[in-house]
Amino acid sequence: MKKTFSIYTFIFALSAFAASAFGGDGQLDPTFGTAGKATLGFTNLGFDAATSIAIQSDGKIVAAGFGNEPDNFYQVLAVARFKPDGGPDPTFGSNGRVLLVDVFSFYSTKVDVAIQADGKIVLVGGVGPFGQNPDFGVIRLQSNGDLDGSFGSGGKATFDFFGFADHASSVVIQGNGMIVVGGSVTQTTGDIDFALLRIDQAGNPDVSFGTLGKVTLDFFSYTDNLNSLSIQTDGKFVAAGTAWSINTESDFAVARFTATGAPDPTFGNGGKATISFFGHDEGTGSAIQADGKIVVVGGAGADSVLTSDFGVARLNANGQPDAGFGNGGKTTTDFFSALDYANDVVIQADGKIVVAGWINPDISDVERYVDFGLARYDMGGILDPSFGSGGLINTDFGSVDHAEAVAIDANCKIVAAGYTWPLETGDGDFALARYSNGGCVEPPGPKSCPRGQGYWKNHPEQWPVNTLMLGSRQYTKAELLALLKTSTKGNASVIVGYQLIAAKLNIANGSEAGPAQSYILQADAILAGYNGALPYSITSSSSVGHSLTDIATILDDYNNGKLTPACSE
């Protein structure tokens, strides 16, 4: 890919970005930090960088990444929690900071974070003793930042695949509490592959997943780096990253796995799909739309510091390029004719796509002048002119500034996280920015009203999905229909099973989950404690049975529209 640049282009671009200060979505939020920006350092000795964020239900922001150990100067995992106004949260760690000095040395370029339903914080990365091959590392913290002693060994667990370097990079929490970790592992041949690991709430491998809790997948018998992991409503997992075919050729890579860890044959070619832009493309982030389509972002043409663009691609649910997005399912965005690299993506409630990364606004110095860069696209892949200036934003912290992650809070504001790194001092800090946004307004048109379990039993042709997770097991459509036709006979697992199936089908069909979501999670957590397939021997008169029938009563109200305004059976 060849680019041209002129001083007129540069002046026009700067003028356009300056115009963004006059209103619209994408303005720095003056109620956050200092003029919309917040920074936080752990020590004054080195490089602290946030690589992921998660937003708690109370609006607090958890940023995870790495920092320098103050005595030996090697990298360790670091976590910070910010109040909704951008200040450090004094109830977390030491004035909002947790530096895990005595836990692991850190080897990966990324730490990921997820928040459990109980408020505990799960971190993953590539970890191990200094100087040795890293393993998948999983750490769980209490909500106050202390290590959770009920997890693994003193709050931490490590997992080796083949005795070589393993780097965890992404984590999701299933509705039943299972923790699924994605990353890249080195085979005995030296080939690097996608890898998944599933563990329970105690930190033990889930032997029902893959082979003793582990799964690997190869694209081109070379280097495959998994950088992002998501979970679909039907329990399948979508992994995205980069697949190298030869030393200098790479593509966006996407794989989908079934709920038990097998490659999904209904996706792409044997569960795999690749996307090429310019011959050297690196996939970094992904998100799943409400309609099941998959958005993947990264650096398009990342082989040269002067020729990289934001790359955004969308796949249909079957893994084929979505012809309704961009040009043949993909689009690229150039900010300032220099280095532009997308790192993460989030989907708004109205379907618009927000992408964050880093950009170089000064062609004369591509190493020093780097800013946060954000872009917003409509559902067709066109830049949204109501966001920033022509759909684009750059935010300068005054040094080398990288946005590594992006999320949307409960007030619909956009939060980007990464780092700011003054080259003169080398003392990098966590950096966050928050932006105005009206994207919580959903597209016009009524949401689907829930329907009772009797409707779904009698109209299987209307089912929006063909598999569902109940507890920790995935069920086929035939198995689910058989369960719906099973007599209850005082069996609480069947009673709740009826309503759980209907509730999950309603949500997959577009109904708002609302208050039903917490009861679905409770039912799944109870059922996950039983082996085999439903029905289980749980009498309605037992204590567990009472809990399940109480949940079933609430879900029955939800399925019949009683908990959804303006809906009725």
Give the per-residue pLDDT at 131. Answer: 74
Identify the weakest region by mean pLDDT among 255-269, 319-333, 357-371: 357-371
Q: CA torsion angle for 266, 270, 271, 275 (degrees, to 10)?
A: -110
Name the more confident of 541 and 446. 541
Q: C-alpha distances in angstroms, 263 versus 54, 174, 271, 285, 465?
A: 28, 18, 5, 20, 18
Give the per-residue pLDDT at 166. Answer: 95
Residue after which a domain boundary falls, among 436, 470, 492: 436
Residue after which a domain boundary falls, among 379, 409, 436: 436
Give the per-residue pLDDT at 73. Answer: 62
Confidence category of residue 349, pLDDT binned at 50, 70, 90: confident
Is pLDDT above 50 for 133? yes
Confidence category of residue 208, pLDDT binned at 50, 70, 90: very high
Is pLDDT above 70 for 41? yes
- Please state, in angstroms and rounded to a whole number, the distance separating the CA atoms of residues 199 and 255: 20
Question: Residue 81: which CATH number?
Answer: 2.120.10.30
Mean pLDDT across the stretch 412-427?
Answer: 88
Considering the domain architecture, whether residues 432 and 489 belong to the same structural domain is answered as no
Give the per-residue pLDDT at 271. Answer: 98
Mean pLDDT across the stretch 516-544?
Answer: 90
Report the run of H or E that residue 9 belongs to, with start and end.
helix 7-19
- Please state, in angstroms and rounded to a whole number, the distance separating the CA atoms of residues 125 and 64: 10
Confidence category of residue 564, pLDDT binned at 50, 70, 90: confident
Residue pLDDT, tens place only, 236-274: 999 999 999 876 789 999 999 999 999 999 999 999 999
- Please state, in angstroms and rounded to a whole number, the distance separating the CA atoms of residues 389 and 418: 22
Considering the domain architecture, whether residues 432 and 457 belong to the same structural domain is answered as no
Identify the weakest region by mean pLDDT among 147-151, 180-184, 302-306: 302-306
Q: What angle do CA 194, 198, 203 make, to 5 degrees?
A: 130
Name the more confident of 22 and 468. 468
Confidence category of residue 21, pLDDT binned at 50, 70, 90: very low
Residue pLDDT, tens place only, 224-234: 999 999 999 88
Residue after which a domain boundary falls, among 407, 436, 465: 436
Give the per-residue pLDDT at 488. Answer: 84
Give the per-residue pLDDT at 100. Answer: 87
- Packing angle of the helix pair 477-484, 492-508 (nearest 10 deg): 130
Residue pLDDT, tens place only, 134-157: 999 999 999 999 999 999 999 999
Considering the domain architecture, whether residues 409 and 465 belong to the same structural domain is answered as no
Domain contains 79: yes
State how many domains the chain has: 2
Give the per-residue pLDDT at 568. Answer: 53
Considering the domain architecture, whether residues 431 and 460 belong to the same structural domain is answered as no
Give the per-residue pLDDT at 310. Answer: 97
Q: What angle do CA 444, 447, 452 make, to 5 degrees?
A: 170
Token pair 């299987």 in the structure block, residue: 460
Asked if 457 and 472 touch (Cβ cutoff 8 Å), the reply is no
Mean pLDDT across the stretch 430-452?
Answer: 78
Name the more confident of 491 and 131. 491
Domain contains 496: yes
Confidence category of residue 8, pLDDT binned at 50, 70, 90: very low
Give the per-residue pLDDT at 175. Answer: 84
Name the more confident of 393 and 15. 393
Considering the domain architecture, whether residues 376 and 286 belong to the same structural domain is answered as yes
Mean pLDDT across the stretch 170-197?
Answer: 94
Give the per-residue pLDDT at 102. Answer: 66
Kindly write down the DSSP assignment for every residue of 199-267, as one continuous string.
Answer: E-TTS-B-TTTTBTTEEEE-SSSSBEEEEEEEE-TTS-EEEEEEEEEETTEEEEEEEEE-TTS-B-TTS
Is pLDDT above 60 for 23? no
Helix, strand, coil abundance in the chain, percent, nearest 5: 15, 40, 50
Considering the domain architecture, whether residues 245 and 113 belong to the same structural domain is answered as yes
Token pair 């719906």 in the structure block, residue: 484
CB atoms within 10 A of CB 309: 25
The candidate with the shortest Cα–Cα distance to 457, out of 513, 497, 515, is: 497
Residue pLDDT, tens place only, 472-523: 888 999 999 999 999 988 999 999 999 999 999 988 888 887 778 888 988 9
Give the per-residue pLDDT at 456. Answer: 94
pLDDT > 90 fraction of the chain, expressed in percent and rounded = 66
Residue 537's contacts (CB-CB under 8 Å, 6 or more residues apart) are: 491, 493
Residue 199's contacts (CB-CB under 8 Å, 6 or more residues apart) are: 138, 157, 159, 178, 179, 181, 205, 206, 213
- Three-class HEC string of 22-38: HCCECCECCCCCECCEE
Identify the weakest region by mean pLDDT among 27-41, 279-293, 299-313: 299-313
Identify the weakest region by mean pLDDT among 10-24, 86-100, 200-214, 378-392: 10-24
Considering the chain, what is the average pLDDT of its residues?
A: 88
Identify the weakest region by mean pLDDT among 86-95, 171-180, 456-465: 456-465
Domain contains 533: yes
Considering the domain architecture, whether residues 396 and 474 belong to the same structural domain is answered as no
Give the per-residue pLDDT at 569. Answer: 43
Considering the domain architecture, whether residues 506 and 414 belong to the same structural domain is answered as no
Considering the domain architecture, whether residues 279 and 425 belong to the same structural domain is answered as yes
Name the more confident of 534 and 279. 534
Domain contains 323: yes
Domain contains 446: no
Asked if 317 and 294 touch (Cβ cutoff 8 Å), the reply is yes
Is pLDDT above 70 for 1? no
Residue pLDDT, tens place only, 105-127: 556 678 999 999 899 999 999 98
Burial of 463 (0-12, 13-18, 19+ CB in 10 A): middle
Confidence category of residue 11, pLDDT binned at 50, 70, 90: very low
Mean pLDDT across the stretch 38-55?
Answer: 90
Domain contains 16: no
**0.85 cut: is pTM over it?**
no
Domain contains 566: no
Domain contains 45: yes
Give the per-residue pLDDT at 44. Answer: 73
Range of the domain at 474: 453-560
Considering the domain architecture, whether residues 410 and 512 belong to the same structural domain is answered as no
